[in-house]
Amino acid sequence: MRFLNIFDQLSRGIVFLVSVICSMYVGYSTNHSGYDLLFLLPLVYGIVFVFFIAPILFKKTNMFIIIFTAITFTRYVILPASIVYSGWYGGRSMVPPLPLSYDLALKLMIYELIVATIFIYFLFKRLKNKNIRINNTITLPQNKSIYIIFIIISLVLLGINPSALNSFAFIFPSESLTGLGANSILETLTTYCLMTSKFIIFLLFISTFYKKFILTNNKIYVMLSFITVLLNIIIIIGDNRSNFIITAIVSFILFYKLFPKHSKIPAVLIVIIILIMTSFITTHRNTVTLTQGEEPAKDFTNTLQVYLGGPYNVAIATETAKQFPESRTMPNLFYDLTRPAIGFNIIMKNFEDQFDFSNYLFNRRIYSSDHAAQIIPMSGQGYFYFGFVFSPVLLLLFIGFVYFLLQTLYKQTNIELFFFLTIPITRIGFAMGQNAGILINDATMFLLLNLFVFYLNKNIRIRPLKML
């Protein structure tokens, strides 16, 4: 406990010092119209980290706050310094935002950070993990009958729709690899069933090996468990890099929870595998950097702008709101939030001609066409529907949802729930660089079917027939 307190205070001091240094560097070196307030991003981050983020990060540690801290530090400290260092203040649009839009974007980002971190502080300090003293306690599946039946059903569906395998790959993404939901309804259903079956098989195997290890203390079961984790990681589902990385991280977290004393070398191997396979997926997606590698600093800055919702993209989002005022309605918001949700998407697909995704409008502002390659940031999407004052509303709703998931997680010890809930908890840590549609799609994809099968298996027991 004493070491943790020392590490807490040391981290606060280091982060604040780095933030102040970056703020001074940015303030002294910025030379682009509209970016006058850029120096405030790292400075404000240093302050909110000390008073609001660090107390939760070190006393109420969870995967959401860890990822949220890493993302916000990169967005508010690293990105501004990178913008100034590389001299890349722009983006992909042929028509750059007005200086006033950059200024508004920076104010939005500062406001979003202050509101979100204060909300997290006062909400998460109430979290209580009753399992904190027995952190490695975990309940293994007692019943497997529904799981086995579900796996068989998934295989039957695969026999009917073998093309569903096009959404899967082993280590190397094939040219035929398709994203989740890119096919017909039946094929998509088959893919989701196979994904859930993959997770169930992973959990059943690692549970069996963990039980054997507890009984025998034989390290061969640690090795077999790690191989199980590797298989769960290297069997790729879709071509979404974020989903791959998060699934890999959570798979290892489960391994660490089960085998904390045997996780050092596996941790290094997992990091290497994630880096290598992420590069494979990137190559498959034909991702092209801004300068195609000729100016790495600009490429790095532009990538952060896109994936973390930098000032340029937020500025574009504010101009999207002004360019398409007719779409800033509550019915359009309802469509925007429900169309990506698994299940609802089948119904809402029928209303495509009546409403517009805010993300599509955002891309239309960038490319002046139907080409969609950029992500409207959460703050920009909030501004699109609610204006400046209520722009953080969408982000706060997701933070509240994470709080609910963490409360649920802390009240139980089931290995299945630990795995299924930790994935969306971790995913929402990226919220500032994402938008509501992406997070809703991912949350429903990882929760609905997985939890449905889990609760069926927990509450329905099928006893084998006895011979008369």
DSSP 371-389: -------HHHHHHHHHTTT
Question: What's the chain's average pLDDT?
Answer: 88
Give the model's pLDDT for residue 133.
43
Amino acid at 347: I
| Judgement on whether residues 273 and 420 belong to the same structural domain of the protein | yes
pLDDT at 465: 44
Specify the number of domains making up the chain: 2
Note whether 424 and 276 are same-domain residues. Answer: yes
One domain, residues 7 and 61: yes
Q: How far apart are CA 390 and CA 396, in angstroms?
A: 10
Is 21 a member of any domain?
A: yes
Rama region for 129: left / alpha / beta (φ>0; ψ in -120 to 50; rest): beta
Same domain, 64 and 171: no
> Within this chain, do residues 283 and 427 fall inside the same structural domain, yes or no?
yes
In terms of domains, do 177 and 311 share one? no
Burial grade of 289 (CB within 10 A; 0-12, 13-18, 19 or more): middle
Q: Per the domain annotation, does 224 fall within a domain?
A: yes
For residues 328 and 104, give the distance between their C-alpha atoms in angstroms, rounded to a whole number.
18
Q: Which one-letter amino acid corresponds to residue 114? A: I
Chain centroid, CA 400 distance in Å: 15
**Domain end call among 391, 426, 451:** 391
User: pLDDT band at residue 374, thresholds of 50, 70 and 90?
Assistant: confident
Which of 331, 357, 391 represents a domain boundary (last residue)? 391
Position 303, amino acid: T
User: Do residue 360 and residue 385 come from a single domain?
Assistant: yes
Whether residues 219 and 305 share a domain: the answer is: no
Please tell me whether residues 94 and 29 are part of one structural domain: yes
Is position 266 within any domain?
Answer: yes
Tokens 């791959």 found at:
244
CA distance 404 to 436: 17
Residue 180 and residue 116 share a domain: no
- Residue 132 within a domain: no
468 in a structural domain? no
Instruction: For residues 208 and 330, state if they share a domain.
Output: no
Q: Of the given ranges (129-143, 212-226, 389-403), which has the lowest mean pLDDT?
A: 129-143
Per-residue pLDDT band for 172 (boundaries 50, 70, 90) equals confident
Closest among 415, 50, 28 to 202, alpha carbons compared: 415
- The Cα–Cα gap between 363 and 356 comes to 12
Domain span holding position 454: 141-287+401-459
- 48 closest CA partner among 110, 125, 126: 110
What does the alpha-carbon distance between residue 135 and residue 152 come to, in Å, rounded to a whole number? 34
Confidence tier at 191 by pLDDT (50, 70, 90): confident
For 90, residues 6+ apart whose C-beta sits below 8 A from its C-beta are: 96, 312
Residue 263 sits in the same domain as residue 410: yes
Q: CA quadruple 385, 390, 392, 396: dihedral positive or negative? A: negative
Question: Is residue 425 a part of any domain in this protein?
Answer: yes
A 10 A CB-CB count for 231 gives: 15
> What's the CA gap between 212 and 216, in Å, rounded?
6
Q: Which residues contact 293 (CB under 8 A, 6 or more apart)?
A: 299
Residue 406 has a pLDDT of 94
In a domain? residue 273: yes
CB 54 within 8 A of CB 11: yes
Maximal C-alpha separation, the chain = 88
Q: Which pair of structure tokens corresponds to residue 404?
A: 């609910």
Query: Among 204-208, 247-251, 347-351, whose mean pLDDT is lowest?
Result: 347-351
Amino acid 136: pLDDT: 56
Q: For residue 288, what pLDDT is reported?
A: 60
Q: Which of these three, 369, 391, 413, is where a domain ends?
A: 391
Q: pLDDT tens for residues 320-362?
A: 999 999 999 999 999 999 988 887 777 877 787 788 889 999 9
DSSP letter, residue 180: T
* Nearest of 435, 67, 62 to residue 245 by alpha carbon: 67
- The answer, yes or no, to whether residue 468 has pLDDT greater than 50, is no
pLDDT class for 176, splitting at 50, 70, 90?
low
User: Does 54 map to a domain?
Assistant: yes
Q: Which of 114, 111, 100, 109 is nearest to 80 (CA)?
A: 109
Mean pLDDT, rounded, for 225-247: 87
- Degrees, nearest 5: CA angle 349-193-160: 90
Is residue 467 over pLDDT 50? no
- Rounded alpha-carbon distances, angstroms, from residue 141 to 196, 205, 216, 431: 15, 11, 19, 32
